[in-house]
Structure 1
Amino acid sequence: MSHSLKPAGEGLRTRVFQIVFESDTPLAKGFDIALILAILASVGVVMLDSVPSYHAKYGWLFYRVEWVFTLAFTVELAVRLYTLERPLQYLKSFYGIIDVIAILPTWLMLLIPGAQSLVIVRVMRVLRIFRVLRLMQFVGEGRLLIGALKRSTHQIFLFLFTVFMLVTIFAALVYMIEPAEAGFTSIPIAVYWAIVTLTTVGYGDIVPVTPLGRAISTLVMLIGYSIIAVPTGVFSAEVIRSIRADRYSEEACPGCGHDRHEKRARYCLKCGTWLDETTPDPRESQGTGDE
C-alpha cells in the first residue's frame, strides 16, 4: 500500500490500520490471506451461479452467500476508511477503486437486474497478494518486460500491418474464386476467413470448395506457421537487450577499449585494467606500500 496513507489517529485506529493496510505482522498477513481466500471464494460462487444447472438447484444458496460476501467486503472497506486520516485519498487510489467496484454490482442488483454478474471484477482484488507475499521484487522484472514491449512497438505494428495486407489480398482472391454458396458472400466475410486460416484456428464455418481456393488456403496456413514466431522473436530480442543493458556497462576499458563488462566488475575481462578511473587501483596502492 502507498506510504502516503496515514492512520487517522493514535490508539485503536492505528492498530487496525496496521492490520488492514500493512503486512509486517503475522496478524496483518493473516488478515490479508483470509481476505484473498474470501475474494477467490466469492468469485467461485459467481462462476458456479452462471452454470444453469447449478443456478436452478442452488441459486437461492448462491444468492445468500453472495450477499454475505458483499456485506463482509462492505464492512472491510468501511473499516479501511475509518482508520485513514484522508479516506477520500484511498478511494481515489487504484485499490480503493477496485474495492468500490467489488461491492457495487451486488448493491446495484437491487436496482438493475443482471448486475450481479459484474462482481467477477472482484478477482482483481487479489492483486493485494503482491503486498502480502512481498513479491515486489518482481516489479523490476515487470518494468523490464514493459520497456521491451514499448521499444518493440514499431516493429510489431509494422508486422501487424503486413499481416493485414496479406489477409486482405488473400481474402480478395478467395472472394473472387469461391462461389457465394460456400459462404464467401463479401470481402469482409473473406477477411474473417483469412484471419481464421492465417492464425491456424480453423473454425470450419467457412471453407473453400474449389481446388484453387483450397490451394490458397494451404498457402495461407503455411504462411501463418512461418510468421507466427516473428513478434515473439522481436519481443524476445528486446528483452535480451534490456537484460544486457541492465547487467552490463557500456563504459570502455581505459586499457584495451573493451566495453562489455558487468556493472559490478572492477577489472577488465580482457586485459585486467582497473576500470574505476575515479579511484586508485588497490593493487597499485599495495605495491607502493610494499616498496
Structure 2
Amino acid sequence: MSALRHGRFRVALRRLYRSEVPEARRFRYALLGLDLLSIGWIILASFLPLTGTVLAIDVGLGLVLLAEFVARLSASARPWRSLVQPLELADLLGILSLLLAPLLHGALGFLRVLRTLRLLHSVRLIASLRSDLPFFRRNEEATLAAAQLTVFIFVMTGLVFETQHRGNPEINNYADALYFTVTALTTTGFGDITLQGQVGRLLTVVIMLAGVTLFLRLAQTLFRPNKVRFDCPGCGLQRHEPDSVHCKACGTLLNIPDEGS
C-alpha cells in the first residue's frame, strides 16, 4: 500500500512539473518566484552582519529549497540520473551552502550563487511564458538573451563578492561587486576598484570575454528582423515572418497561431 501511495505521489509531482494544465503552470511560476526570492535574499544578506537571525533565515530558506529539490528529483523518471546532472549538482551545492551556514560561518557562501543557474534552464516555464504572454512570444530570443546576460551578471557578481570581500577592502557588499562586474563587462574599467590576486585577475578576464559575447548576442537579437518560432511540418524550418502563410524554404502551408487583428 505504501509503494502504491508513493507511486501516486510521484505521478502527482510529475504532473505539476511537466504537464501544461493551468495548476501546473501556476506551480512553476511559484517556483520561479521562489528562485527569485532566494537570489534576492542572497543579495540582501551581503549587506547584513552575520547574526543568528541571518543564519536562521539561511537555514530556513535552505530547508524549503531542499524540499523542492527532492520533489523535483522524485518527479523525474530516473532520479539518480537526474541527480548527477551538472546543473542539479550545482543547485544542491548552493542549497547545502545555506543549510551549513551556521557550521561554516559563511565560509562556503560563494556556492549559493550557483542557484542563479536555475533561471536559465526552466524549459517548461519558457513554454508557459510562450503561450501565456504574447510579448514573450513575439520577442522570445531577445528576452532569453537579456535573461542570460542578467544571470551571467548575477553569477559573476556573486563570485566577485564571495572571493574578494574578506580580503579586498574595496569589495564590501554586492553593490560594490556589481559595480565592478558591470564596469569590467562593458570594458569601461574605471580602475577605482580592482580584484586582488591571480584568481581576481582571471575572474576579470572571464567577465570581460564572456560579457562581450553575451552583449553581442543580445544586440544581434535586438536588431535582427522580428520573426516567430514555428516548426514547419514539411522541412522543420523554425523561424518565419509573423504573417507567413507558406514556408519560404519548402512552400508548405503554415498555420502560425496569432492573437488576431
Q: Which is greater in Rg?
A: 1
Alignment TM-score, normalising by the size of structure 1 = 0.42
